[in-house]
A and B are shown apart, each in its own frame.
Chain A
Amino acid sequence: GENVEQHPSTLSVQEGDSAVIKCTYSDSASNYFPWYKQELGKRPQLIIDIRSNVGEKKDQRIAVTLNKTAKHFSLHITETQPEDSAVYFCAASPFGTYKYIFGTGTRLKVLA
């Protein structure tokens, strides 16, 4: 079945630096790749997503890139701020299915 691996599990960056989180998926039928941010004690919230017909998507300081050939997708956060500190989850969803397979999460700490 589908498997999503996420790295690193923890990431510390200085405020203002960039952060990159990487995910790898196994099912070539996956065509939707969301990223969620989860603050302590809160629900996961969608922050950006990408579909397989697009290679890159940006929204202000965050961007997601997708390499379908290598089955990799990455979250890029630029000019990090303390409020970016949270756990980030990637997921992959195969076309036409109900399934959303999640990575194990990355705890991002932005140091002031």
Chain B
Amino acid sequence: DAGITQSPRHKVTETGTPVTLRCHQTENHRYMYWYRQDPGHGLRLIHYSYGVKDTDKGEVSDGYSVSRSKTEDFLLTLESATSSQTSVYFCAISDRRVTDTQYFGPGTRLTVL
């Protein structure tokens, strides 16, 4: 597996609370992504980053924000969690200057009660 870790791996929280998920890579890849995975929907892009402090929205970005202060770290924040944000969240990295392949982290299972 590529050097990607996610923390926490599991989290249960209550509606209305803020939540931050962390992705850390040791591959020095330029691009980092946050996806959510729900049954019947496959992998849907939330936000991505193309460099330090450079981020943009994906197809399901409402209710989420991101930050990237270092090449190796990409944070996903749910400002006020809702039950519809219960999902499995995957971080991914890529760098097409080096390889076409996109690598995934181990995932974070988030439950919002």
A-side residues, CB < 8 A to B, are 6, 32, 34, 36, 42-46, 49, 51, 89, 91, 93, 96, 98, 100, 102-105
Task: A43 to B92: give the CA distance in the assembly, Å.
Answer: 10
Q: What number of B residues sit within 8 Å (CB to CB) of A?
A: 20
A49 touches B100 (CB 8 A): yes
A46 proximity list for chain B (CB < 8 A)? 101-103
B43 within 8 A of A: yes
A105 touches B101 (CB 8 A): no
B64 proximity list for chain A (CB < 8 A)? none
B94 touches A100 (CB 8 A): yes
Task: A43 to B1: give the CA distance in the assembly, Å.
Answer: 10
Task: A43 to B89: give the CA distance in the assembly, Å.
Answer: 10
B42 touches A89 (CB 8 A): yes
In the assembled complex, how far is the CB of residue A54 from the closest CB belonging to chain B, in whole angstroms? 12
A51 proximity list for chain B (CB < 8 A)? 100
Flag B97-110 by CB within 8 Å of A: 1 or 0 each. 00011111111000
**Closest B residue, CB atoms, query A101:** B45
In the assembled complex, how far is the CB of residue A3 from the closest CB belonging to chain B, in whole angstroms? 11
**Closest A residue, CB atoms, query B103:** A46
A93 touches B100 (CB 8 A): yes
With A89-B42, A89-B43, A98-B48 known to touch, is A34 a contact of B101 (CB < 8 Å)?
A: yes
**Closest A residue, CB atoms, query B43:** A102
B94 proximity list for chain A (CB < 8 A)? 98, 100
Contact of A43 among B40, B48, B101, B106 (CB under 8 A): B106
Task: A100 to B40: give the CA distance in the assembly, Å.
Answer: 18
B70 proximity list for chain A (CB < 8 A)? none
Task: A22 to B104: give the CA distance in the assembly, Å.
Answer: 23
B48 proximity list for chain A (CB < 8 A)? 98
B50 proximity list for chain A (CB < 8 A)? 98
